[in-house]
């Protein structure tokens, strides 16, 4: 199939989807409060932008997101690297990790509320917990699989200290694997943001739940679309940075 | 100068002992090009690692005499696989061993460029290793070793993975570099022809644990012709020693 044809078909598919979506409430098959038609969305969006709620919800969510992501990644990657380098530590942590790791991120919500209250710090805690495990295992695996020959190379050229090997060889060699983990974490963390906010921490999720309680389903859809767009943008930026960092790869 | 006395080395793995070297003595005066021949698995790479200080022998002593300005890194190693750091551009790979010194980046880069010129890779500085051919990668590895200006160059089957034409080109360059710099070179190979073509002296490792089975001085004048009549008899003799035919 040619490129133009593929694009044409994709556009056709999207148009069909929107038309059906428009018609279902339009023809009165279901009430518009249950399924708001797409034509109602621009107005709802504009209303949220005008009263300033949209921007403040978005920036709040992004700030929880970034804080949780950074805390989780920094802790997870550092501990993953240290554990990867130092076998006794891995053995020491093995059972603790086995107990803690299977706990789903959202199962921490009760404790997050108990420890931090319904506050941004609770959201940040939940987000960083999920991010921590993903980046921990990514970093541990990446460090473990660094080519021993490259470490010997560092030795052969006089870099005998552990910190020299870490910065000259191990970290750069482990970077691709760590970045794969961080990318997975980006998605997990965004889900956690929404979940934490649904429990009441101010942000996109909370605003969406408010709208839902008021049966303003068009506003609910506006926030669903905002979440999707924000995540799409974050992921694209990350992929651009990643390919810039890894331009040395084939 | 390299002086190995009574070198013994045993690997222990999963409780199994494997004695690779025993009672090995080898003296290599400064400036000599020594080729080490031997069947695969006999312990040639192990011997180079012992000389480089990457492995500590269980018995015996390793003495290297080097000029004082090279005290930190008197030996440089070229591995069989080029072993370049894929995230570094060619020049930064070549400058790897210079990062101990207090040189500025510009000075390191200049030294790297000089070493690259020596191996015929001027103009390749900005490439990444994956943008090079196998022969070019091996040249970069050689330049990286030369850049630290070592007194002793250790080379572990550096050309074994290359096609014949590239290999002969690199052999010629190595001969030229040796003539120009007078470095002590220990060159591991499993090719008798390569050993005889390049070296002042060929030592043969054999047995388990390995010992020095023979040492031959090659005094044919340089530049040498390949497969010249002068060396035919010596090559035949070594083939017999190594149990190779043809
Ligand atoms: N790190 C190691 N641990 C255990 N055995 C090793 C190790 N390195 C090499 N050996 C063994 O030592 C012997 C000599 O290896 P090597 O020096 O690489 O041989 P060569 O370079 O002559 O082919 C081989 O039998 C090999 O299996
Ligand atoms: Mg070997």
Region A200-221: mean pLDDT is 91
CA distance A172 to A174: 5
Q: Which of B54, B72, B89 sits opposite A152 (nearest CB)?
A: B54
Q: How far B224 CA sits from the closest chain A CA (Å)?
A: 32
Nearest to B140 by CA among B192, B90, B85: B90
Query: Does the pLDDT at position B246 exceed 70?
Result: no
Spell out the alpha helix ranges (H) of chain B.
44-52, 90-94, 105-118, 134-147, 164-181, 192-198, 229-242
Burial class (CB in 10 A: 0-12, 13-18, 19+), B131: middle
Q: Which ligand is nearest to the CA of B36?
A: 1
> Token pair of B164, please?
């014949």
CA distance B204 to B243: 12
Q: Which ligand is nearest to the CA of B79?
A: 2
Residue owning tokens 């570099």: B177
* Residues in chain A, overall count: 250
Instruction: Please provide residue A160's backbone torsions phi and psi, each rounded to the nearest 5 degrees.
Output: -95, -20
Number of domains composing chain A: 1
Candidate from A168-172, A235-239, B229-233 with smallest mean pLDDT: B229-233
Q: Which of B73, B83, B148 sits opposite A149 (nearest CB)?
A: B83
Nearest to B80 by CA among B170, B5, B155: B155
Q: What digits encode the pLDDT tens for the residues A28-79?
A: 888 888 899 999 999 999 999 999 999 999 999 999 999 999 999 999 999 9
Residue owning tokens 């040796």: B178
Given the candidates 3.40.50.2300, 3.30.565.10, 3.50.50.60, 3.40.50.300, the CATH classification of the domain at B28-54+66-74+152-246 is 3.40.50.300
Q: What digits encode the pLDDT tens for the residues B122-166?
A: 999 999 999 999 999 999 999 999 999 899 999 999 998 888 888
Domain positions in chain B are 28-54+66-74+152-246, 83-149
Residues from chain A contacting residue B91 (CB–CB below 8 Å): none
Burial A195-227 (b: 16+ CB within 10 A, else e): bbbbbbbbbbbbbbbbbeeeebbbbbbbbeebb
Q: Is residue A18 part of a domain?
A: no
CA distance B234 to B206: 18
Spell out the alpha helix ranges (H) of chain A.
3-26, 41-50, 53-85, 87-100, 109-116, 120-144, 148-156, 162-165, 171-198, 204-213, 217-245
Cβ count within 10 A of residue B246 = 3
Region B73-89: mean pLDDT is 93
Q: What digits encode the pLDDT tens for the residues A177-192?
A: 999 999 999 999 999 8
Check A158 against B85: CB less than 8 A apart: no
Q: What is the domain-level CATH number for residue A223? A: 1.10.3720.10
Region A92-108: mean pLDDT is 90
pLDDT at B25: 94
Q: What is the Å distance from ligand 1's center to B44 Cα?
A: 8
Residues from chain B contacting residue A149 (CB–CB below 8 Å): 79, 81, 83
Containing domain of residue A78, as a range?
Answer: 45-245
% residues pLDDT > 70 (chain A): 100
Residue owning tokens 């200290």: A161
Residues from chain B contacting residue A250 (CB–CB below 8 Å): 130
Q: What is the Å distance from ligand 1's center to B207 Cα?
A: 13
Residues from chain B contacting residue A157 (CB–CB below 8 Å): 73, 76-77, 96-97, 144, 148
Query: Does the pLDDT at position B245 exceed 70?
Result: no
Query: Does the pLDDT at position A128 exceed 90?
Result: yes
pLDDT at B244: 56
pLDDT band at B79 (very low <50, low <70, confident <90, very high): very high
Please give the model's pTM, rounded to 2 decimal places: 0.86
CA distance B197 to B35: 10
Check A172 against B76: CB less than 8 A apart: no
Asked if A200 and A118 count as a contact pair (C-beta separation under 8 A), the reply is yes
Q: Is residue A215 part of a domain?
A: yes
Query: Does the pLDDT at position A147 exceed 50?
Result: yes
Q: Is residue A231 part of a domain?
A: yes
Show which of residues 122-151 on chain A sit within 8 Å of chain B, judged by CB atoms: 149-150
The SS3 of residue B186 is: strand
pLDDT at A87: 87
Region B167-177: mean pLDDT is 90
């Amino acid at each position: 199939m040619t490129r133009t044809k593929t694009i044409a078909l994709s556009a056709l598919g999207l148009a069909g989807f929107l038309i059906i979506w428009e018609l279902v409430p339009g023809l009165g098959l279901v009430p518009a409060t249950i399924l708001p038609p797409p034509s109602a969305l621009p107005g709802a969006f504009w209303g949220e932008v005008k009263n300033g709620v949209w921007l403040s919800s978005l920036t709040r969510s992004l700030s929880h997101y970034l804080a949780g992501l950074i805390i989780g990644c920094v802790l997870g990657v550092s501990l993953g690297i240290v554990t990867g380098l130092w076998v006794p530590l891995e053995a020491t942590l093995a059972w603790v990790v086995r107990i803690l790791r299977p706990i789903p991120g959202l199962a921490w919500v009760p404790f997050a509320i108990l420890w931090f209250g319904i506050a941004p710090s609770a959201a940040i805690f939940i987000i960083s917990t999920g991010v921590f495990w993903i980046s921990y295992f990514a970093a541990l695996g990446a460090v473990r699989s660094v080519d021993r020959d490259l470490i010997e190379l560092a030795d052969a050229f006089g870099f005998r200290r552990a910190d020299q090997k870490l910065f000259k060889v191990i970290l750069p060699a482990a970077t691709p694997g760590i970045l794969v983990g961080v990318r997975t974490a980006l998605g997990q963390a965004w889900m956690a943001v929404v979940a934490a906010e649904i429990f009441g921490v101010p942000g996109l999720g909370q605003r969406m739940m408010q709208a839902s309680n008021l049966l303003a389903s068009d506003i609910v859809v506006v926030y669903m679309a905002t979440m999707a767009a924000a995540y799409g943008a974050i992921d694209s930026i990350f992929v651009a940075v990643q390919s810039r960092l890894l331009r040395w790869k084939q | 100068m390299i002086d190995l006395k009574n070198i013994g080395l045993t690997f222990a793995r999963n409780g199994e002992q494997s004695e690779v070297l025993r009672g090995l003595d080898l003296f290599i005066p400064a400036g000599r090009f020594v080729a080490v021949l031997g069947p695969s698995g006999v312990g040639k790479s192990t011997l180079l690692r012992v000389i480089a200080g990457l492995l500590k022998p269980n018995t015996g002593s390793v003495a290297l005499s080097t000029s004082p300005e090279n005290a930190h890194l008197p030996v440089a190693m070229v591995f069989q696989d080029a072993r370049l750091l894929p995230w570094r551009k060619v020049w930064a790979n070549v400058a790897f061993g210079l990062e101990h010194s207090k040189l500025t980046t510009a000075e390191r880069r200049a030294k790297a460029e000089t070493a690259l010129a020596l191996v015929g890779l001027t103009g390749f500085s900005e490439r990444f290793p994956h943008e090079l051919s196998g022969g070019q990668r091996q040249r970069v590895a050689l330049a990286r070793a030369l850049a630290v200006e070592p007194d002793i160059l250790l080379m572990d089957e550096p050309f074994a993975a290359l096609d014949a034409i590239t290999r002969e080109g690199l052999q010629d360059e190595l001969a030229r570099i040796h003539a120009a710099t007078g470095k002590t070179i220990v060159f591991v190979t499993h090719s008798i022809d390569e050993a005889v073509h390049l070296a002042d002296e060929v030592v043969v490792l054999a047995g388990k644990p390995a010992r020095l089975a023979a040492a031959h001085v090659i005094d044919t004048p340089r530049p040498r012709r390949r497969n010249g009549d002068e060396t035919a008899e010596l090559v035949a003799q070594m083939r017999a020693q190594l149990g190779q035919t043809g």
